Amino acid sequence: MLQAFAEAEASALRGEVPVGAVIADQSGKILAKAGNRTLELQDPTAHAEMLVIRAAANLLNSERLTACDLYVTLEPCAMCAAAISFARIRRLYFGASDPKMGGVEHGPRFFTQSTCHHAPEVYGGFGEQRARDLLTEFFRHRR
């Protein structure tokens, strides 16, 4: 999770919403890490989670990441939750919950839907205050 926070902080320095993500294998080896890059890439899908899923899938030469865990500083949105499900991520660890745009514990609660074919084990609240502070500080400076 420390690497995810480093990626979130780097995102903030680039002017991106400070969200960072890391995918690791079962041994804990980091396969991919990224922060949000929606502005830089002019791509609304360039969320940190999407970027690490793409990178890990490319590295492993597989669209299935069944032996992988995802660490992200903010509760994934519905789009990212769908990608996590499609990739068959084993476990999801996230920092702050997101009552406004979250798709796991809030909003559509993607993994509880009958149409969801795979739901990872979900663990929230890891570094929650640090994640919340990072986001609060970022948006305070933007307003």
Positions annotated as catalytic residues are 49
| Three-class secondary structure of residue 66 per DSSP | coil
Question: What angle is formed at CA 82 by the lines to CA 78 and CA 86, rounded to 5 degrees?
Answer: 170
Do residues 65 and 89 lie in contact, with contact meaning Cβ atoms separated by under 8 Å?
yes
Take residue 108 and report the two structure tokens written for it: 């559509």
Residues pairing with 33 in the sheet = 22
Take residue 138 and report the two structure tokens written for it: 């970022």
